[in-house]
Structure 1
């Protein structure tokens, strides 16, 4: 089972000079994917317990389209281990004009992570 989400980073997401997006935004998107996975798997949103690993691989800027994917890799009694990847799939081309963009032939891995979520036994519906 996997979940995929695609979202455009806006000027609101930019936290630093030059339109750079804070890495924490990728973790927020991973949390959204984790929630969907838990709903599909258990019928409940569950809780994110911890990240085991987070790697920021490339910068993300306002205007970039990010595709986020996650999947459950292990399932315990209440725990769900997950892996996540965020890839840049479309980039603005302001060097051409204000509204030009390119779809990347090869998406750029911008962040990957793994973590554990928990769904209490009394909240599992599946």
Structure 2
């Protein structure tokens, strides 16, 4: 099972000089994807327990469109192991004009992660 969201990073997401977005924003997106996966799997939002690995691979800037995708890779009694990938799919082009953007021919992977969520047995509805 997979889930995907696409979000544009705004100026409110920029945390560092040059309109650089904090890497923690990608983890927030992964949390939203995990919540959807748990609802689809178990009928409950569950809880994110831990990340096994997180790799930041490319910078994200205000104005970038980010696609965050996740999938459940292993199902235990109450645990759900998941893998995630965030990709930059559209970038702003201020060098052309203030409203120009390009759709990237090849998305740029900006972050990947593996994590575990839990849905207590008594809350599982599926």
Q: Deviation per CA, 1:73-125: give whole Å up to 9, x if none.
A: 00000000000000000000000000000000000000000000000000000
Q: How does 1:29-108 map onto structure 2 within 5 Å?
A: 29-108=29-108
TM-score (normalizing by structure 2): 1.00
1:4 Cα deviation from its structure 2 partner? 0.4
Structure 2, unpaired ranges of 5+? none
Structure 1, unpaired ranges of 5+? none
Alignment length (residue pairs) = 126
Q: Which runs of 4+ in 1 moved over 2 A?
A: none
Q: Which residue of 2 aligns with 1:15?
A: 15
Alpha-carbon separation, structure 1, partners of 2:94 and 2:17:
16
RMSD, matched Cα: 0.2
Alpha-carbon separation, structure 2, partners of 1:6 and 1:14:
17
TM-score (normalizing by structure 1): 1.00
Alpha-carbon separation, structure 1, partners of 2:4 and 2:29:
10
1:51 Cα deviation from its structure 2 partner? 0.1
